[in-house]
Homo-oligomer: A and B are copies of this chain.
Amino acid sequence: MNLINYFSKRKKIVDDALDKLLTSDKKDKAQSCNSDSALNSRTLYEAVRYSVFAGGKRIRPILMMAACEAVAGELGDVLVPACAIEMIHTYSLIHDDLPAMDDDALRRGKPTCHKAYGEATAILAGDALLTEAFAVVSSEEFVKKVKPEIAISVVRGIATAAGYKGMVLGQMIDMEMQGGDIDFARLEYLHIHKTGALLLACVKVGATIGGATKGQLCQLIKYGECIGLAFQIADDILDVVGDSKVIGKEAGMDSKHGKITYPKVVGLHEAKNIAEGLISSALESIKDFGKEADPLRRIARFIIEREK
């Protein structure tokens, strides 16, 4: 299995699906109204697409697809929620980059949304993407494909992971902890919420749609928890050792913002050890799975070996 090839093929599938989902419907009122109104509405639409197609790795949707495959599920069933997760990830980056938040000028090597379109549009583009994520997983087409009880469980899984007891809580703690005291328990708690919750949701949703048994789901949840935490530790490490040109944003920003990171709390060497340990645990959790879980295994290794 060639990982670069695998990622690039999967990324293409996700990009095509996102492209179809994020169209300005020609039949809707925005177009039937007079041309000026249609023109007005285009800015929001362009800002949304600018951020979604800014060159993301699509790790989350690819992970969701891999979890679905690991339980021999249908890939086509998972594509819409995979896109929804990417919309939510993108919204979180847009809002995170705002001047009142991390105040970042670059994201994936391009100006951040508010730098390109202004703050008001960036706030609304984030709001639009978050809402649209729930619109696509409740669309009649998707519900017909997976059945209402599965679709509503997808909504629940995504909303819980992204909300104020999940990702948004993580972002809040992240803001509040800047320049604060170092504390390992708080650090882990922060990372699990800020990044881990959404990655875990990818695994859970993918496995559920794929028809995982209770036992399989349990093992995959353990896998998801481990790689979720490892992912943010790897991000912390990249901010220290990464090349700005490769990671597509300014390196060293965590330190500049006084953020509490694994390298800061336990040192770079130990941070790497912890991340390695988590990946080993992730792999151990899915040892009963056969070849169909190989993509999950490769994704786990990729998470700590990536350069951006």
Known: A40-B177, A176-B43. A152 touches B164 (CB 8 A): no
Contact A33 B164, beta carbon cutoff 8 Å = no
Identify which of B36, B48, B140 contacts A183 (C-beta below 8 A).
Answer: B36
Identify which of B48, B156, B176 contacts A140 (C-beta below 8 A).
Answer: B156
**Is A220 part of the binding interface, using a Cβ–Cβ cutoff of 8 Å?**
no
Residues on the B chain within 8 Å of A254, using CB: none
**Is A288 part of the binding interface, using a Cβ–Cβ cutoff of 8 Å?**
no
A41–B43 Cα distance when bound, in Å, is 35
Could you give, for residues 19-58 of chain A, a 1 whenever the CB lies within 8 Å of some chain B CB and a 0 otherwise? Answer: 0000001001110011011001101110010000000000
Contact A168 B135, beta carbon cutoff 8 Å = no
Contact B101 A123, beta carbon cutoff 8 Å = yes
Residues on the B chain within 8 Å of A119, using CB: 100
Could you give, for residues 148-189 of chain A, a 1 whenever the CB lies within 8 Å of some chain B CB and a 0 otherwise? Answer: 110111011011101111001101110111000001011001
Residues on the B chain within 8 Å of A126, using CB: 127
Please classify how large the interface on chain A is, using the bins under 10, 10 to 19, 20 to 34, 35 or more.
35 or more
What are 28 A-B contacts with C-beta separation under 8 Å? A25-B165, A29-B192, A34-B186, A36-B183, A37-B173, A37-B185, A40-B173, A41-B169, A43-B176, A44-B164, A95-B127, A98-B123, A100-B120, A124-B175, A127-B130, A128-B168, A130-B131, A131-B162, A131-B163, A132-B163, A132-B164, A134-B134, A134-B155, A134-B159, A138-B152, A139-B156, A143-B149, A152-B155
7 A-B pairs besides A128-B168, A135-B159, A148-B149 with CB distance below 8 A are A29-B189, A30-B165, A36-B186, A40-B173, A95-B124, A101-B123, A140-B156
Binding site for B on A (CB under 8 A): 25, 28-30, 33-34, 36-37, 40-41, 43-45, 48, 91, 95, 98, 100-101, 118-121, 123-124, 126-132, 134-135, 137-140, 143, 147-149, 151-153, 155-156, 158-160, 162-165, 168-169, 171-173, 175-177, 183, 185-186, 189-190, 192
